[in-house]
Amino acid sequence: MNRRARIAVFAVAAAGLAALLVASVVDLPAFGHYQGAYGNQLNREAVAERHTTNVVTATVFDYRGFDTLGEEFILFAAVVGVTLLLRRHKDSEDHQEVLRKADDDRVRSDAIRIVGLLAMPALFLLGLWLVAFGLVTPGGGFQGGVLLAGSLFVVFLAAGFRPYAHLTPAHWADSAEGSGAAAFTLLGLGPLLAGAAYLHNFLGSGVRGTLESGGSMTLLNWATAVEVTAAMVLLFSEFLESYVLPSVRPLQ
């Protein structure tokens, strides 16, 4: 159907959808009067049971750990899809070929390189801190993982494509991502083989407020951080490669 017909059908459908949404929303409890029992119970019990002061991270990795397993595999599948689509370009099959053919776009400005040199370790440390203390204060594997990948990307911004490609070779990123996903699954599988439930917390609870809180949640946290970092680095590398290879450069 052509464009006008499509917009006309959408207008009718959107009016109906909007009416339905508004009608359903006014029956919800008013904003600020949360009435669920599950959330209140978690807030009361989680700190005593798991010794983690960050109840949200405890929910992500322990109480609703199965949902996180599903999300990890969405991440994994999407990155596999991107890799398959973008690596069909014939130049990008061999890592050495990529490095040889990429234009020499080394950054010449000293100021930018110095700022990058200082910023990259600082951001990397910040990312590690976010992941490590995710069970105590806001943070966790997901947030820290993206920040770690960003700190590696700063190398591209401050120095050029070749230093970045040397730092993040494709086979490392591939294996790190696979092992992160596998580690999460196997950490859940271990307790199953020992007779407890899948993803059961098998290391005890540790001391609350410190880095040892949470038991096996800490391991799941780090497995997630490794996987998210590697997935983001793979994404950035694939998109950058399809941009910097000379056969696809814009004509000057």
Partner 1 sequence: MSYLPYIVAAWLFVVGLYGIVTSRNLIHLAVCLTVTQSSTYVLLLAIGYKHRATAPIFYGVPVGSRAVDPVVQALTLTDVVVSVTVVALILALTVDIHRDAKTVDPDEIEAFRG
Partner 2 sequence: MIPLQLAALLMVGLAGTTVVLMRDPLRMTILNAVYALTLTILFLVFQAPDVALSMLVVGGIAYPIVLLAAIARVRSGGDE
Binding site for partner 1 (CB under 8 A): 1, 3, 6-7, 10, 14, 17-18, 21-22, 25-26, 28, 30-34, 36, 38-40, 42-44, 46-48, 53-60, 63-64, 67-68, 71, 74-75, 78-79, 81-82, 85-86, 88, 136-138, 140, 142-143, 145-146, 209, 228, 231-232, 235, 238-239, 242
Return the one option of partner 2, partner 1, none that residue 139 interacts with (CB less than 5 to 8 A, by type).
partner 2
The residue type of 176 is A
Selected from 56, 107, 119, 182, the binder of partner 2 by CB under 8 A is 56
Contact, 159 vs 150, CB < 8 A? no
- Cα of first residue to Cα of last residue in the chain, in angstroms, is 40
Please work out, in degrees rounded to the nearest 5, the angle formed at the alpha carbon of residue 207 by the alpha carbons of 50 and 214: 35
3-state secondary structure of 194: coil
3-state secondary structure of 89: coil
Cα–Cα distance, 151 to 121 (Å, whole number): 8
Cα–Cα distance, 36 to 194 (Å, whole number): 34
Residues in contact with partner 2, shown as a per-residue x/- string from 119 to 138 under the rule CB under 8 A: -----------x-------x
Contact, 163 vs 152, CB < 8 A? no
Tokens 């010794």 map to which residue?
Answer: 51
Binding flag, residue 239, partner 2 (CB under 8 A): yes
Smallest distance from partner 1 to CB 187, Å? 17
Binding flag, residue 10, partner 2 (CB under 8 A): no
Binding site for partner 2 (CB under 8 A): 31-32, 54, 56-57, 89, 130, 138-140, 142-143, 146-147, 149-150, 153, 232, 235-236, 239-240, 242-243, 247-251
